[in-house]
Amino acid sequence: MKVVNKIPIQNFEKRLDGLLKIDLNNLPLPLDFINHQQMMIYIPPRGFGGNHKHPRREIFICLSDDVELHWIDKEGVLYINKMKEENQLYLFDTHPFVPHAIINLSQTASAVLLELADADQYNVEPYQVL
């Protein structure tokens, strides 16, 4: 069963001063993903988003350090993925009905993510992931 796929992003530039530039027109989106909605997400220090499941598919790209994606598979196993490494960005392809939450572990810095979705949000069910 597909749940969450971690896909490396190759087409980005990181300067020595830390500036990141990502070509959004050339993201390695899965061939079966139809991008219907795009949102920027801001998570304050120690905040989180999600803690739910729903029928739409979402892809997340995180530009901030100290952010984790927590998700639970069909057997109830909890997985924790760091969303950004020092020199690598990822797409996190989160399939429908997968319980998930994104948490900003930083005490001082806010987190910024891009979310792509294949449908409008509907039938959201709270789910205790964190």
| Percent of the chain predicted with pLDDT > 70 | 98
User: Using the 8-state DSSP alphabet, how is residue 58 labeled?
Assistant: E
As a whole-number percent, the residues of the chain with pLDDT over 90 amount to 86
The answer to whether the predicted template modeling score (pTM) of the entire model surpasses 0.85 is: yes
Task: Provide the pLDDT for residue 11.
Answer: 86
CA distances from 90 to 60, 121, 123, 126 (A): 8, 23, 27, 26
Average pLDDT over residues 20-29: 91
Calculate mean pLDDT across residues 68-95: 95
pLDDT value at position 29?
95
Q: Please, what CATH class does the domain formed by 4-126 belong to? A: mainly beta
Whether 2 has a pLDDT exceeding 80, the answer reads no
Reply yes or no on whether the pLDDT at 35 is more than 70. Answer: yes
- Position 20 scores a pLDDT of 86
Q: Which residues pair with 98 in a beta bridge?
A: none
**Mean pLDDT of all residues belonging to the chain:** 94
Query: What's the whole-number mean pLDDT along residues 43-65?
Result: 96
Q: Report the pLDDT value the prediction gives residue 18, as an integer from 0 to 100.
A: 84
> Which ranges of 1-130 would DSSP assign to H, the alpha helix?
none
d(CA 43, CA 34) in angstroms, rounded, equals 25
> CA dihedral defined by 112, 1, 80, 30, rounded to 10 degrees?
-30
Residue 1: which pLDDT band, with cuts at 50, 70 and 90? low
Q: What is the pLDDT of residue 47?
A: 97
